[in-house]
Amino acid sequence: MEKEAAKIHIEQLREELNYHNHKYYVENSPEISDQEFDHKMRELMNLEKQFPEFEDPDSPSMRVGSDLNKEFEQVVHKYPMLSLSNTYSEEELQDFHNRVVKAVGNDFRYVCELKYDGTAIGLTYQNGKLIRAVTRGDGTQGDDVTQNVRTIRSIPLKLTGDYPGEFEIRGEIFLPLKGFQWLNAEKEKAGEAPFANPRNAAAGSLKLQNSSLVAKRPLDTYLYYMLSEELPTMSHYENLLKAKSWGLKISPHTQVCNSIDEVFEFIRHWDTARHELPFEIDGAVIKVDNIHLQQELGFTAKSPRWAIAYKFKAEEARTRLLSVDYQVGRTGAVTPVANLEPVQLAGTTVKRASLHNADVISGLGLHCNDLVTVEKGGEIIPKITGVVKEERPEKSLPIHFIKECPECGAPLMRVEGEAAHYCPNSASCPPQIKGKLEHFISRRAMNIDGLGAETINLLYTKGLVNTLPDLYKLKASQLITLERLGDKSARNIITSIKNSLEVPWPRVLYALGIRFVGETVAKKLAASFASIDKLSGATEEELIAVDEIGNKIAGSILAFFTSEANKKMIEELKSYGLQLAGKEETSISKASNILEGKTLVISGKFSRYSRDQLKEMIETHGGKNTGSVTGKTDYLVAGENMGPSKLEKAEKQGVKILSENQFLELIGEE
């Protein structure tokens, strides 16, 4: 194709794809099939590849994300990002209304909106292009998550129509319920902990370092607050309609109310109708529509006086406690779970509720067959919030936490100051063994494909695998004898086990499943102790000297390495060739000790080195790099465009400020 023709065709495809994206993601009324859409997208991507001179970061093809890992820049909000004050009853809402009337009189209307349960975002558009997306952060400054937000299909990268030259629009990014269930199912498949609720899932997704992973999550948005020096109108509602006409996603459930009684109707309606929505809301937001009046009413330090949130009560139901089960996890922690007479709550049938630990049971004063109230809070598993003592059956006995492990009979232990009871029999308590094996093979640990909880259970019950090293003794011929495993899957499992010998030391350490040693702690430990021998020989003092390691973690590590069974297991794992030491090139070789004992913060953009390179330099010269300026910071290495508040804070605290060159001079790399 001729260059000129290609240019025209590319532009046409981009326009068409933007249009269909809008129809699909914003208006929910697609005009073409998914296949047709994909076909056009592929055509565009091919052309863009062929003619890279027409590349455009705003092209709809760029919404697949990038693989680049980067840390988020802090951006100061042009307008502080305040929150709302909450009300929980119609009386409180009436009080709010009375205050407003007292201040501005009677002649105004409200706009009622849903209170979306996600994570707040501020989008800045300049000349119709999305230039920045920033999280709430501390309200003054937030994380620049533009790259991630660009992958959300319902957020247009380009607007159409009579938009102002520059404006910000705020809204909520959330994960619809279906997307949430899908994401948690994926997480479970990968052996990862599920998100507790859609809000955490949305916030967690925006903070992912890899935007191509964000692109895979079906995040959505509703925008609800426009800010600009050149607002199109002085009505909040009219501004939202304007925003809609430019292509921004505005909720169809927003409603103008001419009296407080209409507001009450709105909240009563949504208190029940919310269960039919495909996403979660936790209340309604009531705003004075007229922006002149909003300005007259103004703000308190934390929230506007012209708006308020009305929070719905968490739904509650009453039901009988049937019995209490005790579940033993991989670390031996015993969790009590209540079995309940099935009851309908917030659209689902509830049969079980977590009781967390012995203190919760005694705090509730729970007796057998009690009538209890259950509530679905922000978590997936409902909780018991109270006991209806008047309805207690006669002579029913109080529930006492068990004294022995329900799985292996070992007497339970409770460490001073900790809430949980533990089964100490880690070597032969079945759920602990199986749990440890499941953790070991999970994706973020040894990533052994093809082995799931079911196969682990089979291997364990058939007596083929009892300890972690046993996995490395397995032969394909043994696997084939198991039900449901064909020749090919058996061979794949063996290959995957072999491949796990390449998993690097920090992940192997995490895979061992030492209590309190999660991924981050494992990385920190592996960076300070180059091998398992160094780690197992470390004293409590040496362990605590590592960043983020306190007494609790240190105690758990010491206990792990004191156990004879664990010592034997590690020797066996060594003999199979697992990476129980860091490879030379990955462990940090010290260039100097110039920065020993010094804490540095890096902020802004640099011209000679990337932030990651500078961070590495700090470490190789013995210093410590942290994220925010505190009284303990020695130097702030300041680049271009860094947040003024960070600079101000550094100046106030007397922190020395270095330019990139001054820093390089200091460490002798200049």
Catalytic residue among 40, 115, 244, 646: 115
Per-residue CA distances from 187 to 190, 443, 444, 655 (Å): 5, 10, 11, 43
| Residue with tokens 């690097």, as numbered in its chain | 504
**Residues with Cβ < 8 Å from 517, sequence gap 6 or more?**
509, 510, 525, 553, 556, 557
- Taking the C-alpha atoms of residue 65 and residue 116, their distance in angstroms, rounded to an integer, is 25
The answer to whether residue 142 forms part of the interface with ligand IVH (CB under 6 A) is no
The answer to whether residue 140 forms part of the interface with ligand IVH (CB under 6 A) is no
Q: Which is nearer to ligand IVH, 169 or 573 (CB)?
A: 169
The answer to whether residue 307 forms part of the interface with ligand IVH (CB under 6 A) is yes
The answer to whether residue 244 forms part of the interface with ligand IVH (CB under 6 A) is no
The answer to whether residue 83 forms part of the interface with ligand IVH (CB under 6 A) is yes
Minimum separation from the CB atom of position 309 to ligand IVH (A):
5
94-101's contacts with Cβ under 8 Å and 24+ in sequence apart are: 94/260, 96/286, 96/308, 97/260, 97/263, 99/305, 100/288, 100/297, 100/305, 100/306
**Is the Cα torsion angle 570, 572, 573, 579 positive or negative in sign?**
positive
Residue among 595, 579, 608, 604 nearest 501 (CA): 579
Interface with ligand IVH (CB under 6 A), residue from 82, 213, 380, 530: 82
The answer to whether residue 295 forms part of the interface with ligand IVH (CB under 6 A) is no
- Known active-site residue 115: yes
Interface with ligand IVH (CB under 6 A), residue from 48, 73, 113, 315: 113
Q: Which is nearer to ligand IVH, 308 or 549 (CB)?
A: 308
Structure tokens at 615: 């961070």
- Give the contact letters, 208-237, x = binds to ligand IVH (CB under 6 A), - = no: ----------------xx------------
- Taking the C-alpha atoms of residue 660 and residue 607, their distance in angstroms, rounded to an integer, is 8
580-608 as b/e: b if 16+ CB within 10 A: bbbeeeeeeeebeeebeebbbbbbbebee
- Taking the C-alpha atoms of residue 465 and residue 207, their distance in angstroms, rounded to an integer, is 38
By CB under 6 A, which span of 48-56, 111-119, 468-476, 652-660 interacts with ligand IVH?
A: 111-119
CB 326 within 8 Å of CB 399 = no
Interface with ligand IVH (CB under 6 A), residue from 25, 37, 72, 116: 116
Which residue in the shown chain puts its C-beta closest to ligand IVH?
120
Alpha helix positions (H), 306-357: none
The answer to whether residue 84 forms part of the interface with ligand IVH (CB under 6 A) is yes
Q: What is the size of the binding site for ligand IVH (CB under 6 A)? A: 15
Minimum separation from the CB atom of position 299 to ligand IVH (A):
8
Find the binding residues for ligand IVH in span 274-293 (CB under 6 A).
Answer: 285
By CB under 6 A, which span of 82-90, 201-209, 364-372, 418-426 interacts with ligand IVH?
A: 82-90
Residue among 161, 331, 171 nearest 246 (CA): 161
| Residue with tokens 């040496």, as numbered in its chain | 542
Residue 44: how many other CB atoms lie within 10 Å: 21
By CB under 6 A, which span of 77-85, 183-191, 344-352, 510-518 interacts with ligand IVH?
A: 77-85
The residues that touch ligand IVH, with contacts defined as CB under 6 A, are: 82-84, 113, 115-116, 120, 136, 172, 224-225, 285, 304, 307, 309
Catalytic residues: 115
